[in-house]
């Protein structure tokens, strides 16, 4: 119901909150304890925000839809031609289902004639579940009998006579609001029963034709009880199974009422007179080898009728045997069942049904295990996919997985960012390798989280260098703003990470540079394919980083023109850039509206400082086409004089 009316995420949240397992606790054809039922109800109510009574009514309505979907519609319609007769025969359906679902403990429904309304007494061994019956009956009226009914719980009773297993009784008042079917017939009343008895008396003739001995033989499992619940007459088979069953004996000494769950009192049985009754008695069975008497419980199922004159209860029933295994266990034979009794056919049918039930249980268990395995495989696949998507863009990874060729793609405008750690070479030379790796993992993990927030793509890392691009592989108009935010977040995160080794008392300081322009992308390699960016834009972004200053984002004029309205900037002026000559660059101080005083002071310190030796010959392998890679950028950054790279770290 939750999956259909809500979604899988809601069901997963419910299971997690209730600490239940979808496959272990909710298999088809498998019972589970009431504790889990009520825990599940309370959890669903809290998660979806529906009060428990309304939720139970909703479930009652859904249960009918599910039963119809499972091809039980014909069985439901066979209970009666209107809602009233359906209610009368509902207990009989439950008794039939108990032959297959032996752990089932259903409620009981008693219908009474109430004039313009139907009065139904609901009895249950569980408290608080009657709204399910309300929703179910409302759905039956609508979907089976084309009626709109109003159902009101008028009275609730929780006090029952001793020996009654029911703990809650609710009187339901059912009123038909609109009816597109024929008018429902009234529920059976005592007057109708008395009228039927009069008709039977006329059919019997003036004098009885059968003796008591003949009756006890023809009806081997019948009982006649007086108001004191003493046995007046009993069937021959009952007497054979237990010698204590004889006229004059007390009903309670030999029998107990298995269903409905009421006490063995005359008045209580009259209240449930329209229900099917299942009686249990002890059969005294003698083992042939040891001659030991072993009592066995035998069940007989039938109907109680009240004879107003001479005020007697008559039970007409037959053996209640589900299958051949039960017959063998109770040492019963087909000869113990009268030829006219349909129980013979039911045993054969139920034996086949039991076999099918066992197969279905095994199939459901295997299905649950398969679903669990599939879920685990999907979880592992998601982990693998996430790892793959960190190495390659999702669109590129999917194309490669499908065996498709990934062609080079041109992007007219993107923003590329480089960063590196100031004084990284000296940190490495004075620190254990494990501490250096731990430091890099700590700072790069923070950077990775920022890429998810700012929605930019991490291209790669080499050593201490970190490369990011915005507007590629997913085209966006605000790529420069996103990369600018990424650079500012990286600066803030780097201050929270301590350096390694002898510099552990100092925070890491990084240089960040960015530039905007066109690039060409492509996948290079087959054994370990990499998503690469090519073009002068990459080279220039690397130069912005290498000519940048610790604790600041250094950017070119094209990037400045894209972010000047959304961020606070400071002109650095014209500087000599290796391989580029003289360029006008800027410092990015912060987001618009932010407090940028500290960044302004830092920018003022570095405004007129040349961060690269302009007389040093270029070692770039870019050549005429101006292409560069992260490896060459990192190599060139390593050539910065030590005093400049360490800056204020020491």
Q: Round to whole Å and give the CA distance between 156 and 56.
A: 17
As a whole number, mean pLDDT of residues 248-263 equals: 87
Q: What is the pLDDT of residue 563?
A: 92
- pLDDT class of 113 with cuts at 50, 70, 90: low
Q: What is the pLDDT of residues 207-241, one digit of tens each?
A: 667 777 888 888 888 999 999 999 998 988 888 88
Share of the chain above pLDDT 90, in %: 19
- Residue 79's φ and ψ, nearest 5 degrees, are -75, -20
- Other beta carbons less than 10 A from residue 297's beta carbon: 11
The dihedral sign for the CA sequence 584, 589, 592, 595: negative
Residues with Cβ within 8 Å of residue 225, at least 6 apart in sequence: 231, 232, 251, 266, 312, 313, 314, 315
Rounded to whole angstroms, how far apart are CA atoms 344 and 327? 11
240 membership: H or E segment, kind and range: helix 236-241
327 or 415, greater pLDDT: 415
Domain 403-646: give its CATH superfamily. Nucleotide cyclase, GGDEF domain (3.30.70.1230)
pLDDT in tens, 419-430: 999 988 888 888
Rounded CA separation 488/495 (Å): 11
Task: Please identify which residue in the block is written with the tokens 């600066």.
Answer: 491
Q: Tokens standing for 355? A: 């076999």
Residue 205's pLDDT is what? 58
Question: Would you place residue 409 in the very low, low, confident or very high pLDDT band (cuts 50, 70, 90)?
Answer: confident
pLDDT at 642 over 50: no
Winning range, highest mean pLDDT, from 66-70, 94-98, 644-648: 66-70
pLDDT in tens, 257-272: 888 888 888 988 888 8
Rounded distance between C-alpha atoms, residue 253 and residue 267, angstroms: 18
Q: Is the pLDDT of residue 191 over 50?
A: no
For residues 271 and 329, give the distance between their C-alpha atoms in angstroms, rounded to a whole number: 34
Task: Write down the pLDDT at residue 320.
Answer: 82
Of 255, 213, 212, whose CA–CA distance to 231 is shortest?
A: 255
pLDDT at 490 (0 to 100): 93
Among 28-32, 129-133, 407-411, 555-559, the least confident range: 28-32
> Which stretch of 348-357, 400-409, 498-507, 547-556 has the lowest confidence by average pLDDT?
348-357
Please give the Cα distance from 277 to 304 (Å, whole number).
7
Check if the beta carbon of residue 314 is closer than 8 Å to that of residue 215: no
- Note the pLDDT of residue 466: 94
The CATH fold assigned to 2-104+117-148 is H-NOX domain (3.90.1520)
Q: What pLDDT score does 23 carry?
A: 66
- Is 90 exceeded by the pLDDT of residue 631? no
Which residues have a Cβ under 8 Å from the Cβ of 532 and sit 6 or more positions away?
Answer: 459, 521, 522, 523, 524, 629
Give the model's pLDDT for residue 84. Answer: 82
- DSSP 3-state of 157: strand
Helical segments of 101-211, H only: 130-143, 190-204
CATH class of 190-341: alpha beta
Which residues pair with residue 532 across a beta bridge?
A: 522
Contact 126, 34 (CB under 8 A): yes
Work out the end-to-end distance of the chain between its first and last CA atoms, rounded to an integer number of angstroms: 65
Task: Tell whether the model's pLDDT for residue 352 goes beyond 80.
Answer: no
- pLDDT exceeds cutoff 70 at 387: yes
Strands (E), 102-227: 108-114, 117-124, 147-157, 168-179, 223-225
Beta-strand pair 510-524/553-556: parallel
Helix (H) or strand (E) holding 558: helix 557-563
pLDDT digits over 478-519, tens only? 999 999 999 999 999 998 888 877 777 788 889 999 999 999
What's the whole-number mean pLDDT along residues 2-18?
81
CB 288: neighbour CB atoms within 10 A?
6
Task: Specify whether the CB–CB gap between 270 and 306 falls below 8 A.
Answer: yes
Residue 562: the pLDDT is: 94
Instruction: Kindly tell me the sign of the dihedral angle through the C-alpha atoms of 597, 602, 605, 606.
Output: negative
Between CA 414 and CA 556 the distance in angstroms is 13
Q: Which of 242, 234, 110, 119 is nearest to 172 (CA)?
A: 119
CB atoms within 10 A of CB 489: 17
User: What is the pLDDT, as a whole number, of residue 539?
Assistant: 93
**What's the predicted TM-score (pTM) here?**
0.47
Of these ranges, 69-73, 121-125, 488-492, 494-498, the one predicted with the greatest mean pLDDT is 488-492
Q: Quick one: which of 281, 278, 316 has its CA closest to 298?
A: 281
* C-beta of residue 315 within 8 angstroms of C-beta of residue 95: no
Q: How confident is the model at residue 537, as a pLDDT? A: 93
Confidence of residue 99 (pLDDT cuts 50, 70, 90): low
Of residues 482 and 83, more confidence is placed in 482
Q: Tokens 């309370």 belong to which residue?
A: 42
């Amino acid at each position: 119901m939750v999956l259909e009316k809500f979604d899988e995420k809601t069901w997963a949240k419910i299971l997690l909150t209730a600490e239940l397992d979808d496959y272990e606790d909710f298999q088809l054809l498998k019972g589970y304890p009431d504790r889990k039922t009520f825990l599940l109800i309370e959890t669903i109510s809290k998660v979806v925000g529906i009060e428990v009574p309304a939720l139970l009514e909703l479930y009652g309505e859904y249960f009918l839809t599910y039963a119809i979907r499972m091809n039980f519609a014909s069985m439901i319609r066979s209970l009666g031609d209107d809602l009233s007769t359906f209610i009368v025969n509902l207990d009989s359906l439950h008794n039939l289902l108990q032959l297959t679902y032996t752990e089932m403990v259903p409620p009981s429904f008693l219908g009474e004639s109430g004039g313009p309304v139907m009065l139904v007494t609901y009895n249950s061994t569980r408290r608080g579940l009657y709204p399910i019956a309300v929703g179910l009956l409302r759905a039956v009226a609508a979907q089976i009998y084309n009626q709109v009914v109003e159902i009101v719980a008028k009275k609730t009773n929780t006090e029952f006579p001793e020996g009654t297993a029911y703990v809650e009784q609710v009187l339901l008042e059912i009123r038909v609001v609109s009816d597109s079917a024929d008018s429902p017939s009234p529920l059976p009343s005592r007057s109708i029963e008395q009228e039927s008895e009069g008709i039977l008396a006329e059919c019997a003739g003036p004098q009885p034709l059968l003796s008591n001995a003949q009756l006890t033989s023809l009806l081997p499992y019948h009982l006649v009880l007086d108001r004191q619940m003493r046995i007046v007459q009993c069937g021959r088979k009952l007497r054979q199974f237990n010698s204590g069953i004889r006229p004059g004996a007390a009903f309670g000494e030999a029998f107990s009422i298995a269903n409905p769950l009421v006490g063995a009192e005359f008045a209580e049985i009259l209240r449930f007179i329209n229900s099917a009754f299942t009686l249990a008695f002890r059969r005294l069975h003698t083992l042939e080898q040891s001659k030991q008497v072993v009592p066995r419980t035998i069940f007989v199922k039938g109907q109680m009728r009240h004879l107003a004159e001479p005020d007697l209860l008559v039970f007409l029933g037959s053996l209640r045997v589900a299958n051949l295994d039960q017959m063998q266990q109770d040492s019963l034979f087909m000869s113990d069942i009268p030829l006219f009794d349909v129980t013979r056919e039911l045993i054969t049918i139920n034996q086949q049904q039991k076999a099918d039930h066992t197969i279905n249980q095994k199939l459901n268990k295997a299905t649950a295990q398969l679903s669990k395995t599939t879920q685990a495989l999907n979880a592992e696949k998601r982990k693998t996919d996430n790892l793959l998507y960190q190495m390659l863009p999702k669109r590129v990874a999917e194309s490669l997985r499908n065996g498709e060729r990934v062609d080079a793609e041109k992007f007219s405008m993107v923003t590329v960012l480089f960063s590196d750690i100031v004084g990284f070479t000296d940190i490495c030379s004075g620190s254990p390798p494990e501490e250096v790796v731990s430091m890099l993992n700590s700072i790069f993990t923070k950077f990775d989280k920022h890429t998810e927030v700012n929605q930019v793509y991490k291209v790669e890392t080499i050593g201490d260098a970190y490369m990011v691009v915005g507007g590629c592989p997913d085209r966006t108009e605000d790529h420069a703003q996103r990369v600018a935010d990424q650079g500012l977040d990286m600066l803030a995160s780097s201050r929270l990470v301590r350096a390694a080794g002898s510099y552990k008392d100092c925070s890491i300081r990084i240089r960040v540079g960015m530039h905007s322009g066109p690039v060409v992308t492509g996948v290079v390699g087959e054994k370990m394919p990499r998503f690469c960016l090519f073009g002068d834009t990459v080279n220039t972004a690397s130069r912005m980083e290498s000519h940048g200053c610790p604790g600041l984002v250094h950017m070119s004029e094209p990037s400045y023109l894209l972010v000047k309205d959304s961020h606070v900037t400071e002109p650095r002026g014209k500087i000599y850039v290796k391989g580029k000559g003289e360029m006008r660059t800027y410092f990015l101080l912060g987001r618009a509206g932010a407090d940028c005083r500290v960044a302004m002071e830092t920018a003022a310190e570095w405004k007129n400082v040349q961060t690269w030796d302009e007389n040093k010959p270029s070692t770039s392998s870019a050549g005429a086409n101006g292409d560069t890679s992260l490896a060459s950028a990192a190599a060139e950054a390593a050539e910065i004089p030590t005093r400049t790279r360490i800056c204020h770290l020491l």
